[in-house]
Structure 1
Amino acid sequence: MCGIMAEYDTVQNKIKNGYIFKDHLDKAIELKPQDPMSYYLMGRWCYAVAQLSWIERKVAATLFGEPPNATLEDALKNFQKVEEIQPGYSKPNYVFLAKCYRDLGQRDKARKMCQAASSMNTSSKEDEEAQKDLDLLCPALGL
């Protein structure tokens, strides 16, 4: 719910809910460390935090004393953990792996993840959204 609400909320509430979401994910991973969904969601959280603008970080620091902290490497580790637990887990996970590799300058690995995602069926709304990202990502990587 925090993630869905964030799409329509103020920056202040997005940041506040982001902290809540992260706490819930930490607890979920602690309680069920072999659940790939928790790592996928943690990867998404880390990726989103790594993409925060300077102004969003300043707002978070002003309101909460410290902005949320995560890197692309943190996101990548979580998406890789998903694959370690359950290889071929989901099309969206492959797309986010590709995005991380692209953003980290590892284009060959990004292409490989795009190809893996492209080979998967689209069977859910989340898969459809991942396919839209893939349709933009693949050509940018020369596929």
Structure 2
Amino acid sequence: MCGIMTEYETVQNRIKNGYVFKDHLDKAIELKPQDPMSYYLLGRWCYAVAQLSWIERKIAATLFGEPPSATVQDALKNFLKVEEIRPKYSKLNYVFLAKCYRDLGQKGQARKMGDAAASMETVSKEDEEAQKELDYLLPALGVY
């Protein structure tokens, strides 16, 4: 719920809820370390934090003393953990793997993950979201 609420919150509340969300994810992983969903969500959190703008980081530092910290490499590590626990877990996991590799300048790996996502069937709303992102991402990677 914390993650969904952020779409409708102010920057201040998004940042505050981001800390709460991260705490919940850390606890979930501690309690159930083989659950791929927790690592997927942590990867999404890390990726979102890595994409924070300068102003969002400044607001977080002002309000909380320290902005949340995560890198694209942190996100990648979590998305790879998902694949380690349960290969082909989700189409969106592959999309985010492709984004991470793209952001890290590893275009070949990004294409490989994009291809893997494209080869999966679209059967859920999450898959539809993944396909929309793929339609934008793959041409930029030179896949289509």
Verify same fold: TM over 0.5.
yes
The separation in 2 between residues aligned to 1:20 and 1:93, in whole angstroms, is: 22
Amino acid at match of 2:45: W
- The aligned counterpart of 1:89 is 89
- Identify the residue that residue 114 of structure 1 maps to in structure 2: 114
Secondary structure at the aligned position of 2:63 is classed as: helix
Q: Does 1:64 align with 2:77?
A: no
Q: Specify the code of the residue in structure 2 equivalent to 1:130.
A: A
Listed as ranges, the gaps of 5+ residues in structure 2 are: none
CA-CA distance at 1:46 after TM superposition: 0.1
TM-score when normalising by structure 2? 0.99
Which residue of the partner structure matches residue 35 of structure 2?
Answer: 35
Aligned partners of 1:8, 1:80: CA distance in 2, in Å?
30
Give CA deviations for 1:32-84 in whole Å, capped at 9, x if unaligned: 00000000000000000000000000000000000000000000000000000
* Deviation of the 1:136 alpha carbon: 0.5
Other-structure match for 1:46: 46
Question: Is 1:20 aligned to residue 17 of structure 2?
Answer: no
Q: Tell me the equivalent position of 2:9.
A: 9
Structure 1 residue 123: deviation in Å? Answer: 1.1
Q: Which region of structure 1 is more displaced relative to structure 2, 123-132 or 27-36? A: 123-132
Cα distance in 2 between the residues matched to 1:121 and 1:79: 19
For these two proteins, the number of residue pairs brought into alignment is 143
Q: Show the counterpart of 2:128.
A: 128
Matched to 1:125, the amino acid is K
Measure how far apart 1:8 and its partner are: 1.0
Alpha-carbon separation, structure 2, partners of 1:84 and 1:91? 15
Q: CA RMSD in A?
A: 0.4
Give structure 1 stretches of 5+ with no counterpart.
none
| Seq. identity, % | 83
Q: What are the superposed Cα offsets for residues 78-114 of structure 1, whole Å, 9 maximum, x if unpaired? A: 0000000000000000000000000000000000000
State the distance in 1 between where 2:90 and 2:4 align.
19
